[in-house]
Amino acid sequence: MRSFLLIGLLFLRASAAEEIVPSVIAYAKAHAEGDVTASFRAADYRGDLSDLPIGVFDSGVGGLTVLEAIKSHDRHHNLTGEEGADGVPDFVGERFVYFGDQANMPYGNYSAAGRTGFLRELILRDALFLLGRRQARGEKPPVKAIVIACNTATAYGLEDVRAAVKAWGLPVIVVGVVEAGAQGLAETAHGAQGGVAVLATVGTCASNAYPKAIAKVTGRPVRQLGSATLAAAIEGDPSIKSPVRDIIRADVGTFLQAAAADGAAPIDTLVFGCTHYPLVADEIVASFAFWRDYAEADGSKPYAQLVASQLRQVNPAAWTAETLWRSLQAAKMMAKANPVTGDYFYISVPNPAWKGIGLAPDGSLNYEFKYGRSEGQVDREDTIIVPLRPDRLPGATSELVRNKLPLTWQSMQAVR
């Protein structure tokens, strides 16, 4: 009897998950004036959209690395569109709307908690926020393109967002980092034929999105290194007590130990499959070097032949920028006028007015509440959206953004 009950519950959950996209599509269609949560004004998407901003979203602030890559991208001549840098960023005339769903991060843990359906709903809500005008304080502009800067969100929600945009009849471009990263790996191999290590969150690894995407463009062997805590540690999550360097070193050591036991191919390429990881790329490469040179008591070096002395690095963010440029160019949707306003930055925070909300001592959503929620309430407001000012960044993250993402940092200074 118990097994039949369990099967029934699993069936109901699977059935509910299949209803996520249709229910969100229907909800937004029923609110065509964009006057409620998770909706947009249908009228905003008629006519020429080229001068609308580009939307970028992530599960937190890691997606700022993708925004920086887009802002600094210079691979084409701005007047002719021909290949070749001209010293002027390719997106110099564009505006951006950035949203980090900080209150609900990390997205990578929802699949492990059995909440994949709720994660998919979160991702669709993120896209709807960008498409709409409504936010906690006034209005924001709609967008002509959506960049899913979160690897986990791309893995679990890219096709959902594309299906929804198509159902709504919107000429909005949707780009995800996973496909772009795989294409970047293929286009930058330059003779590298060794193993590829994809470093990502546990959730992204569980989706198997990168191995599938990479298999479409190259036959190189792929191994995944999934970390449960690194992204949160980079964000400055106070519940993570270990230093970032120690987390990386431990994760890489465990990864290489398993790879050596399996007789894996020597690794010569790293793919940063989490938007946070480029912020600590030096530490990641240093950890691989540490383990390559690590010697046992008898003097043997178990990983010396497993890690190449020179590791190629593939940052999907840079290739996301290129994919976005190609898509906008093909659709003739690059901005025609100089922007009259700057960029917009937003972040989600817990809504203490929401009934039954569970908060940790630091004011964040506690684990039980965050991962205990289920899909089916598109209009829920247990979090609210506020402007992301520099002073809302955790101290360590603020320093990383200031030092490593200068264009984004400069743009954030105007946020009020």
- How many Cα atoms are found within 13 Å in the side-chain-facing hemisphere of 239? 13
* Lookup: tokens for 57: 């979203």
Amino acid (1-letter code) at residue 344: Y
Residue 359: DSSP 8-state = B
**CA distances to 148, 153, 155, 162 from 158, in Å:** 7, 7, 6, 6
Q: How far is CA 212 from the centre of its chain?
A: 18
150 is catalytic: yes
Give 3-state DSSP helix, strand, coil % of the chain, rounded to 5. 45, 15, 40
Q: How many CA atoms lie within 13 A of 152 on its CB side?
A: 32
- What is the C-alpha separation between 380 and 375, in angstroms, rounded? 10
3-state secondary structure 140-164: CCCCCEEEECCHHHHHHHHHHHHHH
Q: Strands 195-201 and 145-148, how do they pair?
A: unpaired
Catalytic position from the list 21, 69, 274, 307: 274
Which member of 150, 155, 225, 267 is catalytic? 150
Cα–Cα distance between 149 and 29 in angstroms, integer? 26
What is the CB neighbour count within 10 angstroms for residue 87? Answer: 7
Q: Is 274 a known active-site residue?
A: yes
Among all residues, which ones are annotated catalytic?
Answer: 150, 274
